[in-house]
Amino acid sequence: MIDITHKSSTLRRAIAQAIVKVGSLETIQALVDRKVPKGDVFEMAKTAGLFAAKRTADMIPDCHPLPIEYTGISYQIEGNSIYIFAEIHTIYKTGVEVEAMHTASVVALTMYDMLKPIDKNISIEQIKLIEKKGGKTDYSLKGTEGLGASVIVCSDSIAAGKNEDKAGKAIIEKLEKYGLKVVDYKIIPDEKEIIQQSLSNLAGMGRDVVIFTGGTGLSPRDVTPEAIRPLLDKEIPGVEEAIRVYGQQRTPYAMLSRSVVGLIGKTLVLALPGSTKGASESIDAVFPAILHIFRVMEGTRHEGA
């Protein structure tokens, strides 16, 4: 199965369809009147669909076992066609479109099995996905491509040429995948005054995003939070919490991180861990959803408002 450990759990929904086409309107009437010899077709097929939703991972090898939080099965009759709609909800790291299609398929097969004694001209058609929502792509915002970003590595040893930067480069790679243009990449020592001067200069230049990596731990030279926090106009504690929660799910050491996130004017500032893994996972934790900040600052109403 595909590795989804880097993903965050979100509310995910999917609706799938299947169509059962019968040979005559007499079959439809028997179905509606609950006079099919094998029993109540609607209820039996619905029950089969509920079982199918919860057992999709048992049938489809690459599907991840996941918590099914809601299953809804509904019918619509048009002429000699019975439209089946299966809706699945979960709060998890991966979508439920296969679960929805599997459910619709099993409902359709159950109807076929129950109706075949009275109708030899039944077909199952158009098993397909109607809608899916809640994945990471839903939080990718149009209009944020090309935002200018700066990546600053805070490290005495890297600045002195004793070590190679990997965390900053990992951040750059991820930012570019989200359409951000990295226009500054600098390595500076763990000096409070240098960090503050670098941030003030970049914010003054109107950079959209400034990301620091390093100096957020608890060693004597880790001063990045102390340097950045006094310069912020607004802190965004929810983003800081999201980064630590995401990290905590992967290593208990994440609770020791002192990541800081906030705004200077319209410049988004993030201070992330200095380890390559910690920096990379911090980006995974909050991007691309964090870019919604730029729409909020423009006065755009929240979705659903």
What is the residue type of 128? K
- Write out the two tokens for 113: 């099995």
| Angular region, 143: left φ>0, alpha ψ -120 to 50, beta rest | left
Residue 67: asked if its preceding bond is cis (omega within 30°), the reply is no
Q: In what order do the strands lie in the sheet with 234-235?
A: 181-188, 148-154, 209-213, 267-272, 260-264, 234-235
Alpha-carbon gap, residue 176 to 126, rounded angstroms: 39
113 is catalytic: yes
- Write out the two tokens for 88: 């699945």
Report angle CA 81, 85, 88 to the nearest 5 degrees.
165
On whether the CB atoms of residues 232 and 263 are closer than 8 A, the answer is yes
Kindly name the residue from 40, 113, 138, 184 that is annotated as catalytic: 113
Q: Are strands 10-21 and 81-92 parallel, antiparallel or unpaired?
A: antiparallel
DSSP SS3 for 231: helix
- List the beta strands (DSSP E) in the chain: 10-21, 70-78, 81-92, 123-133, 148-154, 181-188, 209-213, 234-235, 260-264, 267-272
The residues carrying an active-site annotation are: 113
